[in-house]
A and B are shown apart, each in its own frame.
Chain A
């Protein structure tokens, strides 16, 4: 409990620091926002009016606390580029609102694929690799080597090219989905999930390769441990040794690894959304960076960072639940 309290305090401190860094970073950019919004319509009076409206006449520190207070209340500020209509500015919250679920579902689908495929694959691979290489065991030796080559290749393919390859193979050659035929989650949820399957697969494939590789090596290390010999000598079957003893211990580092992957999956979805034309926050982030729409960029960076930090926090706690030895230290 004491540990949990300490962790939560660190979590809050980190969030505070990150928000300050995100806010301050965008204060050093040269150029006046007000003139760039008004463009040719700028007059000194209108500039002053807009400056007051956006609260830009306050010193940075006041603006920072106003911004944080706003974010906590759910007021995320207004976009500099998008507008609702002629005289009303577009709130960032509205801009992000319906894009967020797309990214979250995509990341979740990718993560489920990673966990579902990589763990059985890793176990299977470790089984192949642990068979002594002679005589009748040549098939497992071959599989071991083949998986090694395949995963090495999968890790060398950048995610955006993998997305294009998936589009080409599954979309154009096999016609399993229609590239660009995105269905909104509000219209038809199952078609939406169906369309997400292939982008999710593109994010997942390199991570599956990494995780399977990691699990294989972790299991091979565990298989050499003394307790394995003990388990065999007291009469455990190979199956029981593998699943009851070795896998449980080998999963420890893999859980940490999977936790660290979550951050990369979220980051990977930024790129993959671009490849598959998914209207998520990743695409919004890239377009906001290109158009220098800083309030939107600030909020998105903050949001993604929060998700990443929060996931690390959860992994940390989970790790102690799975492995009681950690909390004894």
Chain B
């Protein structure tokens, strides 16, 4: 099933790997160490433009923006990973059960999935957040719930495709248990498709998390997140445009990196 240009180290894969790799490493580093303290203020260095001392300049309190972006990246990457883990895990479980067994559960789950999919995800997240309240855990939980259907759909489709494959009916004939068929025989064969949707999931989670933090209903100050930095920075657009550009371009970098990475993974495995 190899497509044209479907090599192992295609340019999308390499570019995506480098871009996301750099961002994720900086983010992980930012959880433990930043060049400057993220809360240290300095009246003398208020609004200093990007320089060698401060790569991304300083903000209205004289805090180092590069350090804060690193910390924000850490927050965003951590939250997105947990969201993907949560929704992907539940998605695999539900998709496997509904796809393999079908029946009433399948019918019910698909109705709900259709309803959720046809709906702007931001609206649904807002509903859940307004019930649960804002804050880091609730952002993870609400985004986790909202993104489950996208995985269920894909995993279910793959399980339906493989359910009647020859090697599965042979396994069944040999007396292999249902759970073993589901998770040992079928699951490893859907990963090529699943990874692509994980990449898209990462993108959506990053966009949604930073959007919610921007709106003030996600990660709350004093925790730095790329979204709430942007909303703080907006008021100083005229005097210190770098303050807004730094977190904004970082989000773009991350999202673009994951899109390229996803496309690279897709080409690598020849999934269409």
Q: Does B6 contact A (CB under 8 A)?
A: no
Q: Do most interface residues of chain A lie in helix, strand or loop, or is the interface mixed?
A: helix
> Chain B nearest CB: distance from A274 CB in Å?
6
Report the interface size for chain A: residues with CB under 8 A from the other chain. Answer: 42
Q: A152-B256, A160-B230, A271-B122 are in contact. Are A168 and B241 (CB under 8 A)?
A: yes
Find B244's partner among A159, A168, A270, A304 (CB 8 Å cutoff): A168
Stretch at the interface among A62-70, A94-102, A287-295, A318-326: A287-295
Question: Known: A161-B251, A172-B237, A286-B215. Is A270-B122 also a contact (CB below 8 A)?
Answer: yes
A290 surroundings in chain B (CB, below 8 A)? 134, 216-217
B248 nearest CB neighbor, chain A only: A161
Residue A86 at the chain B interface, CB threshold 8 Å: no
- A312 at interface, CB cutoff 8 A: yes
Tell me if B118 counts as interface (CB < 8 A to partner A): yes
B185 smallest CB distance to A (angstroms): 35
Interface string of A15-29 (1 = CB under 8 A from B): 000000010011011
Q: A301 to chain B: which residues have CB within 8 Å?
A: 123, 126-127
Assembled-state Cα–Cα distance A260/B238 (Å): 36
Interface residue? B211 (CB, 8 A): yes
- Is A152 a contact of B237 with CB atoms below 8 Å? no
Of listed B127, B244, B255, B259, residue having the most chain A CB within 10 A: B127
Say yes or no: A29-B131 contact (C-beta < 8 A), given A172-B238, A271-B211. yes
| Shortest Cβ distance from residue A256 to the other chain B in the assembled complex, whole angstroms | 12
A167 CB within 8 Å of chain B: yes
Does chain B have a CB within 8 A of A264?
yes
A140-169 CB contact bits vs B (8 Å, 1 = yes)? 000000000000110111111100110110
Q: Which of A22, A153, A263 contacts B119 (CB 8 A)?
A: A263
CB-CB under 8 A from A308, the residues of chain B are 118-120
Interface flag for A299 (CB, 8 Å):
no
Q: Could you write out 7 A-B pairs with CB less than 8 Å apart?
A: A22-B127, A25-B131, A160-B215, A160-B227, A164-B230, A263-B118, A274-B214
Minimum-distance CB pairs A-B, first 8: A267-B120, A161-B248, A156-B256, A289-B130, A156-B255, A160-B214, A267-B122, A263-B120
- 6 additional contacts (CB under 8 A) given A153-B256, A160-B227, A297-B127: A164-B230, A165-B248, A267-B120, A270-B122, A290-B217, A304-B123
